Structure 1
Amino acid sequence: MRVAILSGGTGWHVQDLARAAADLGHHADVLDFRRLSAAAPGVTGTTDALAGYDGAIVRTMPAGSLEQIVFRMDLLHAAAANGVRVLNPPRAVEACVDKYLANVRFVRAGLPVPVTVACQRADDALAAFDALGGDVVVKPLFGAEGRGMVRVSDPELAWRTFRAIEQTGGVLYLQQFIRHPGWDARAFVIGGRVVAAMRRTSRDDWRTNVAQGGAAERMELAVPERDLAVRAARAVGAAVAGVDLLPGPRGEWYVIEVNAVPGWRALSAACDLDVATAVVRFLAEEYQA
């Protein structure tokens, strides 16, 4: 099988996927999203970047202009339409990169999520801040690994934060802060089943992301939480997903996020699992795009 690993560089995850593909007897090429091109039929001297590949794994989406990002997503859609097994499917990538759209899918699927408000004016955000109890998490609409998130529980700080976001043309995305025991769960879903999970514990921070200093350890999820993770991945159409689940103060669980381009370095170490091999094997043997 010829596999394209789509990225913006050759980081650890890219190398891990290339190693796993070689171990399984597949040919893998690392392609930089920023160099991809397309050609209409009959144009000589140029070819579609994904022509000739059986599968493609979306590893990262490099920063770019709106036009560049849309074009890259168009290439993924075109490849999928031409029979390339694109993992994750473009619609899943689009949904998961947009926190509001993902949240809409979760709510539609009947999944428990924190009370959420998205708006464009600071005045609306201030009203939402009061309605949500004066303790919220403000998140960038596009973002990952806990970057750019801030907890706001002071009215003056809320005013300053919301005005600043409004002035930069951003979308104000607020979620009610859920009091949790200082940890959350990351479930790794492949093909509709949880293959591993880890507990991420905060170190002097309300954020539990490993990228923000959280500690990871292997965790066995109970059946209801495993089912919740699988349903969350299915809600956004992700065949491979990192699903973040947060325990609430009364024993309830919330779906916080689904990552369609999930990392697994900490999870592999904590769970002693070769995630890259599991992903490539799924792509080659099971995945039906």
Structure 2
Amino acid sequence: MRIALLSAGDGWHVRDLQRAAAQQGHEAVAVDFRRLSAAVAHGMETLAGFDAVLVRTMPPGSLEQVVFRMDLLHRAQAGGIAVLNPPRAVETCVDKYLATACLEAAGLRVPPTVVCQHADAALEAFTALGGDVVVKPLFGSEGGGMVRVAVVEMAWRTFRTLERLQSVLYLQQFIPHPGWDLR
């Protein structure tokens, strides 16, 4: 089987997956998400010739780039290529609002969360959440772009700046913790 390993590079995890695939008699090829291309009625698909696609990470990109990448995954899956993780799972996981809502709907405890688009609504949420929140980008991982805000003046400045950048404001009540989490 020929497997495309979609990621943003060829770190140790990609090399380890390549090693494991080779041990099972398969070929795993690292393919950078940012290098994907597509064609309609032309036959020059980047993923053509692969039996499976393993999605490791979705690198940052513009809305157009991310939507295009997801379209490619949906099209590959519809064309009979096994896609792991499935496109819908990737969409859910990269979107903090959707992921949080799905976790809560499944009965898992999540911190009280408010997602809004305006600074005034975010300031109301800040107060309702106890005046100590973690503000996160809607898209992203590994803690990038997060900030804890516990002072009302800083909350307002943070929310206004994010609103001006046309960002969605994602606030979670700060939950004291021992410095680590379970995943």
TM-score, normalised to structure 1, is 0.60
Matched, 1:172 2:172: no
The amino acid of 1:83's aligned partner reads: G
Q: Give me the whole-angstrom Cα distance separating, in 2, the residues matched to 1:112 and 1:62.
A: 28
The amino acid of 1:73's aligned partner reads: M
List gaps (5 residues or longer) in structure 2: none
Report Cα offsets for 1:63-118 as digits up to 9, x if no partner. Answer: 33222211111110011112211111000111110100111212222221111000
Aligned pairs for 1:24-35 within 5 A: 24-35=24-35
TM-score, normalised to structure 2, is 0.93
Counterpart in the other structure of 2:179: 182
Matched, 1:108 2:105: yes
Give 1:6 deviation, angstroms.
1.1
Counterpart in the other structure of 1:39: 39
Aligned pairs for 1:1-289 within 5 A: 1-41=1-41, 43=42, 46-186=43-183
SS at 2:30 equivalent: strand
List gaps (5 residues or longer) in structure 1: 187-289
Q: Give me the whole-angstrom Cα distance separating, in 2, the residues matched to 1:25 and 1:184.
A: 36
Report Cα offsets for 1:251-279 as digits up to 9, x if no partner. Answer: xxxxxxxxxxxxxxxxxxxxxxxxxxxxx
* Percentage of identical aligned residues: 68
More moved, 120-129 vs 25-34: 25-34
Q: Give me the whole-angstrom Cα distance separating, in 2, the residues matched to 1:31 and 1:39.
A: 17
SS at 1:57 equivalent: strand
Report Cα offsets for 1:158-194 as digits up to 9, x if no partner. Answer: 11111111111111100111122333223xxxxxxxx
Runs of 4 or more, structure 1, over 6 Å off, are none
SS at 2:37 equivalent: coil
